[in-house]
Amino acid sequence: MDGTSLESLLANRARFLSFIRARVPDRESAEDLLQQAYARIVERPEEVPVGHEVPWFYRVLRNAVIDRHRRHDVERRRRDAWEKDPTRESDDQPRGRVCRCTMRALASLKPQYIQIIEAVDVHGRPAVEVAAAAGLSPTNAYVRLHRARRLLGERLRAICRSCADSACVDCHCKGSGPDA
């Protein structure tokens, strides 16, 4: 990439920012995407087609916006799945009180799953902190927690459908507490 190409891209900064701004919710995100695209030019100048740098840069920006939207969709789906997770405590349930059926389902899991569920869901420790203490990467800890919660939900549904669906209402275990 020559100096003329770079000058052309820098001279169109306002147009590029306007292009991104029309596609993302806030100015800070638009600025970040534009700076990342400019950084790409610095890191890999050989990719910039001489004489066609502006259309190429619009394509780079469009792809950056698409990638941003995809990441946000993944985060939204992950958050929605977490909120619908049957093993997650709801705000109307007292923390730390678990029915007998849930305790039986929890006891049937692998020790590593029991440990992460107890640390994160019962004691309220951040998954990143639990990961560091266990010598795991944060990603591995989140995967392990997800698998543990999913398996706990499956086991709880197999043991007592009532507890899994409605937090012990009309259940044979008669409410909360491991001694109930």
| Domain ranges, ordered by start, for the chain | 3-83, 89-166
What's the confidence (pLDDT) of residue 109? 92
Q: Per residue of the chain (180 residues), what is the pLDDT tens digit? A: 677 888 889 999 999 999 999 999 899 999 999 999 999 888 888 888 888 999 999 999 999 999 989 988 888 888 777 777 655 554 444 444 567 888 888 889 999 999 999 899 888 889 889 888 888 898 999 999 999 999 998 888 888 876 666 555 445 555 444 443
What's the confidence (pLDDT) of residue 143? 92
What's the confidence (pLDDT) of residue 165? 62
Find out whether 36 and 78 touch, Cβ atoms under 8 Å: no
Query: Following DSSP, what letter does each residue of 130-150 receive, concatenated?
Result: HHHHHT--HHHHHHHHHHHHH
- Reported CATH class of domain 89-166: mainly alpha
- Reported CATH class of domain 3-83: mainly alpha
What's the confidence (pLDDT) of residue 156? 85
Give CB contacts under 8 A, 24+ apart, made by 169-176. Answer: 171/99, 171/101, 173/99, 173/100, 173/101, 175/99, 176/94, 176/97, 176/98, 176/99
